[in-house]
């Protein structure tokens, strides 16, 4: 059967999917994908898989893909990261991600067009499933268009464009630029998905109208409201309880994934109920997480039934974009002022972000995680300017070993040392030493074998000589009996002593 391409692939395999859940590291696992599909999502991605680890580690394959096989979870795209062109054999659609923030993966390969073209072309030639790509944009629209056309020419059958640049992340995330997405859509002849600024179903419709894309992808919006594509904002506890029910029906699910999803769903509530935030972070069982979620539900229902909530709901409306600041309306419950407080004060307390860390890394401005690291190591320095600068490997660009004899990273050094039968003490590689030891052992065994053969040959010769003597003694005629007269003559000739 011929591999489907372009719009035919989008229509037949992906069933003209318009509502797409974005690939998210440790967040788009099977349980979350099934929950999203229940509430309108038409296409999902697996979490990002590391191609090299996937190929060499059977446990990694089983835990990250084969344990998550489910007929309800279709269509599904397998998301992969690589910088060498190494491929994963897969029965699903294959996505080469160019949007992730991992060093020398994804978006950090954005300027290495020759390598990217080789990776996509190789994947398109070797795999029996279509290849899709996900990219971020450049500052210049023209360069972004050329970038997309290069990937299309290399064999990409569907392109997702995240309308943010490589530097738009963390505190600098900002607003995605749909103009770049619209320009890419007009310039290529393959289906295009848009990603960025999607918080409501109305955003989806507006994005499709303004850019002309075939589908729209959501990440943060989906994490806060899995029912986004249904156009509704159910109470947060309903989504949390339904998610936990899906997790129990489709084990195993890593506990850290479940905890992260609950922190996202209950984000605004946890800003108020700090005691339950600490408890949610400490529990170590699925039942414990469910118990904390139930306590949060009870507290929120009390708040929801208060007169303050009803008055605020009348003021804010039903939760459209006007009453939203990057969150769905179901979170309005947790922004409302309590008795005796002013709304502006609560809003300032709840929505205030932590100040950016100073370059000197003083204890007052460090995050909790860094403060823990500082308590374990008082001399640890968090200043970016004073961090050691790593020299790149000559072959792959990863940090090279400081004392490597080949000036390479460990992976490249291992390949070169194996090929040339050499040693690299800094990386603990002893191919030459092992080969010499093996040769010495073989020579010793060969010498011992020769000595043993010589010993056996000597024993064989001695045995033959003994048999020859025995045979000669048994075959000679018997001697005649001695003549007594001769003996008397001999005795008479012997002189007598004087």
Q: How many residues does the chain have?
A: 498
Model confidence over 161-173: pLDDT tens digits?
A: 999 998 888 778 8
Are residues 167 and 215 located together in one domain of the fold?
yes
Closest CA to 178 of 149, 207, 143, 148: 207
Q: Is residue 478 part of a domain?
A: no
In a domain, 460, yes or no: no
More confident residue, 405 or 35: 35
Instruction: Report the percentage of the chain scoring pLDDT > 90.
Output: 42
C-alpha separations of 242 from 257, 262, 293 in Å: 15, 11, 11
Residue 275 lies in a domain: yes
Same domain, 224 and 254: no
To the nearest whole number, what is the mean pLDDT of the chain? 80
Q: Which of 189, 205, 232 is the last residue of a domain?
A: 232
The 3-class SS string of the chain reads CCCCCHHHHHHHCCCCCCEEECCCCCCCCHHHHHHHHHCCCCEEECCCEEHHHHHHCHHHHHHHCHHHCCCCCCCEEEEEECCCCCCCCCCCEEEEEECCCCCCCHHHHCCCHHHHHHHHHHHHHHCCCCEEEEEECCCCHHHHHHHHHHHHHHCCCEEEEECCCCCCCHHHCCCCCHHHHHHHHHHCCCCEEEECCCCCHHHHHHHHHHHCCCEEEECHHHHHCCCHHHCCCCCHHHHHHHHHHHHHHCCCCCHHHHHHHHHHHCHHHHHHCHHHHHHHHHCCCHHHHHHHHHHHHHHHHHHHCCHHHHHHHHHHCCCCHHHCCCCCHHHHHHHCCCCCCCHHHHHHHHHCCCCCCCCCCCCCCCCHHHHHHHHHCCCCCCCHHHCCCCCECCCCCCECCCCCCCCCCHHHHHHHHHHHCCEEHHHCEEHHHHHHHHHHHHHHHHHHHHHHHHHHHHHHHHHHHHHHHHHHHHHCCCCCCCCHHHHHHHHHHCCCCC
Query: Does residue 310 sit in the same domain as residue 278?
Result: yes
User: Could you say which of 44, 70, 99, 383 is catalytic?
Assistant: 99
99 tagged catalytic: yes
Greater confidence (383 vs 310) lies with 383
Task: Establish if 139 belongs to a structural domain.
Answer: yes
Q: Are residues 154 and 187 in the same domain?
A: yes
Q: What is the mean pLDDT of residues 148-159?
A: 95
Residue 204 domain-assigned? yes
CATH code of the domain in which 124 resides: 3.20.20.70
Checking if the pLDDT of 339 tops 60, the result is no
| pTM (predicted TM-score) | 0.64
Instruction: Please name the residues in contact with 335: beta carbons below 8 A apart, sequence gap of 6 or more.
Output: 268, 346, 347, 350, 351
Domain match, 252 and 110 both = no
Domain boundary residue, one of 169, 203, 232: 232
Q: With bands split at pLDDT 50, 70 and 90, how would you rate the model's confidence at 477?
A: low
Could you list the residue range(s) of the whole structural domain that residue 262 is in? 248-353
- Residue 415 shares a structural domain with residue 314: no
What are the tens digits of pLDDT across the range 96-125? 554 544 445 677 788 889 988 998 998 888
In a domain, 266, yes or no: yes
Residues 218 and 266 reside in one and the same domain: no
Q: Are 194 and 228 contained in the same domain?
A: yes
pLDDT of residue 206: 96
Q: Give the tens place of pLDDT for each residue, 45-80.
A: 988 888 778 888 888 888 777 666 788 999 999 888
Domain's final residue, options 180, 202, 232? 232
Residues 121 and 219 both lie in one domain: yes
| pLDDT value, residue 349 | 38
Quote the pLDDT of residue 18: 96
Task: Give me 447's structure tokens.
Answer: 């010498």
% pLDDT > 70, the chain: 76
Min mean pLDDT across 189-193, 217-221, 370-374 is at 370-374
The reply to whether 157 falls in a domain is yes
- Are 19 and 158 in a shared domain? yes
Is residue 470 situated within a structural domain? no
Kindly indicate the confidence band of residue 252, based on its pLDDT and cuts at 50, 70 and 90. confident
Domains: count for the chain: 3
Statement to judge: residues 145 and 64 lie in one domain = yes
Residues 253 and 215 in one domain: no
């Amino acid at each position: 059967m011929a591999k489907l391409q372009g719009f035919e692939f989008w229509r037949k395999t992906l069933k003209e999917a318009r509502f797409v859940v974005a690939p998210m590291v440790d967040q788009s696992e099977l349980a979350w994908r099934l929950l999203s599909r229940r509430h309108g999502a038409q296409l999902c991605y697996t979490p990002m898989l590391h191609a090299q680890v996937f190929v060499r580690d059977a446990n990694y394959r089983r835990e990250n893909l084969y344990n998550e096989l489910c007929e309800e979870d279709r269509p599904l795209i397998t998301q992969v990261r690589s910088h060498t062109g190494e491929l994963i054999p897969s029965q699903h659609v294959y996505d080469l991600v160019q949007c992730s923030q991992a060093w020398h993966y994804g978006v950090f390969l954005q300027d290495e067009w020759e390598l990217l073209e080789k990776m996509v072309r190789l994947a398109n030639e070797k795999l029996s499933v279509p290849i899709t790509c996900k990219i971020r944009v450049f500052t210049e629209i023209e360069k972004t268009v050329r970038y997309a056309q290069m990937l299309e020419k290399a064999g990409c059958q569907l392109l997702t464009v995240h309308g943010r640049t490589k530097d738009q992340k963390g505190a600098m995330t900002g607003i995605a630029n749909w103009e770049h997405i619209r320009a890419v859509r007009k310039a290529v002849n393959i289906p295009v998905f848009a990603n960025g600024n999607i918080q409501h179903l109305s955003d989806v419709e507006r994005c499709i109208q303004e850019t002309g894309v075939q589908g729209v992808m959501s990440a943060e919006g989906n994490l806060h409201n899995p029912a986004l594509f249904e156009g509704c904002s159910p109470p947060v506890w309903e989504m949390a309880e339904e998610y936990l029910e899906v997790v129990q029906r489709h084990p195993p699910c890593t506990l850290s994934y479940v905890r992260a999803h609950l922190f996202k769903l209950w984000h605004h509530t946890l800003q108020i109920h700090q005691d339950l935030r600490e408890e949610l972070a400490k529990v170590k069982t699925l039942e414990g997480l469910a118990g904390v979620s139930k306590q949060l539900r009870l507290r929120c229902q009390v708040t929801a039934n208060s007169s303050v909530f009803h008055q605020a709901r009348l003021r804010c409306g039903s939760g459209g974009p006007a009453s939203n600041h990057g969150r769905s309306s179901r979170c309005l419950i947790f922004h409302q002022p309590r008795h005796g407080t002013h709304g502006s004060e609560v809003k300032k307390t709840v929505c205030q972000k932590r100040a950016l860390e100073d370059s000197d890394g003083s204890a007052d401005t460090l995050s909790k995680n860094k403060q823990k690291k500082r308590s374990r190591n008082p001399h640890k320095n968090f200043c970016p300017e004073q961090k050691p600068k790593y020299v790149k490997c000559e072959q792959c660009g990863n940090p090279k070993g400081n004392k490597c004899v080949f000036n390479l990273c460990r992976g490249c050094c291992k390949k070169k040392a194996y090929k040339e039968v050499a040693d690299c003490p800094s990386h603990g590689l002893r191919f030459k030493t092992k080969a010499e030891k093996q040769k010495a052992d073989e020579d010793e065994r060969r010498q011992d074998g020769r000595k043993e053969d010589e010993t056996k040959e000597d024993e064989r010769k001695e045995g033959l000589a003994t048999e020859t003597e025995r045979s000669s003694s048994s075959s000679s005629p018997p001697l005649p009996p001695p003549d007594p007269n001769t003996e008397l003559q001999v005795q008479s000739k012997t002189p007598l002593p004087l």
